[in-house]
Amino acid sequence: MEIFELLAVFFVGILASMFGAMIGGGTLLSLPFLMLIGLPAPVAVATERFGGLGQTAASFVKFARSQKIMWPFVPLLTIISVVGSIIGAQILVTIDVELLHNAIGVILLLLLPLTFLKRSVGIEHNKVGRRSLIVGSILYFFVQIFAAFFGGGTGILVAYTLMFCFGLTVLEASATKIIPWFFLSVTSLVIFALNDLINYQLGIVLLLGMTIGGYLGAHIALKKGDAWIKYLFYGLVIVTVAKLLMF
């Protein structure tokens, strides 16, 4: 494999994981790039998931020190993530992935106005009731199934769920989803590895890049604060919708 291609994967990993650590959505950059350089879609998904372990570890270190992780929610979200990952990782290719991409794009487009109508969402930590937590847990479960299967755009749906149903700020959502995402990644990676879907050469290079990007992204997010990250969230949702529905 050419050194230029490995360097490109490395730098794409840095950029994708910077956005991923701040709010999510980095997969929309890294996954298409891996397919662009010739990896079949299933191998690209598995290899990107392997590289994403670097982002998860690095951003966890930074967010844990800032006390932004809402630990009471972590056990529940982790259990849901593991179950969702087992189901999602075993979904067969009979599922129309393009249809799912379009569905998520439409959902994001419909949800975007809600963040403008209720300006406190994502900025202030809100106490929510039991019903909201139950609905949020159900939504989170289905999002994690999608995330285990292809990932694109689901990080933003996770953020929406944690902000609206669990009452978290943007930064709290980014921090709290790290540990559940780690377990989702490990569980799905076991299934991917057993099916020989991971390109380890590219995966290791991507992991190194994503480790750097994950730390930088978490650092920038904490430095800028919830309000700044929420504006970034708006822009990323619009780009994600365009990417999922038009390309």
Task: Report the pLDDT value the prediction gives residue 42, as an integer from 0 to 100.
Answer: 80
**Contact, 226 vs 170, CB < 8 A?**
yes
Collect all residues with Cβ–Cβ distance below 8 Å to 147 and sequence separation of at least 6.
84, 85, 88, 154, 155, 158, 181, 184
**Contact, 217 vs 62, CB < 8 A?**
no
Share of the chain above pLDDT 70, in %: 77
Q: Which residue has the higher pLDDT, 134 or 122?
A: 134
Task: Report the pLDDT value the prediction gives residue 106, as an integer from 0 to 100.
Answer: 64
Collect all residues with Cβ–Cβ distance below 8 Å to 144 and sequence separation of at least 6.
80, 81, 83, 84, 85, 88, 154, 158, 180, 184
**Contact, 77 vs 138, CB < 8 A?**
no
DSSP annotation of 72 reads: G
Average pLDDT over residues 28-32: 80
Q: Where are the alpha helices (DSSP H) in 150-199?
A: 154-164, 170-176, 178-194
Q: What is the CA radius of gyration of the chain?
A: 17
Give me the phi and psi of 169, to 5 degrees please: -80, 175
Q: Which residue has the higher pLDDT, 24 or 214?
A: 214
pTM for the structure as a whole: 0.81
Task: Report the pLDDT value the prediction gives residue 213, as an integer from 0 to 100.
Answer: 94
Task: Report the pLDDT value the prediction gives residue 189, as an integer from 0 to 100.
Answer: 92
pLDDT (tens digit per residue) in 188-247: 899 889 889 899 999 999 999 999 999 999 999 898 887 767 676 667 667 666 665 665
C-alpha span between 41 and 33 (Å, rounded):
11
Task: Report the pLDDT value the prediction gives residue 72, as an integer from 0 to 100.
Answer: 94
Collect all residues with Cβ–Cβ distance below 8 Å to 204 and sequence separation of at least 6.
none
Average pLDDT over residues 51-69: 91
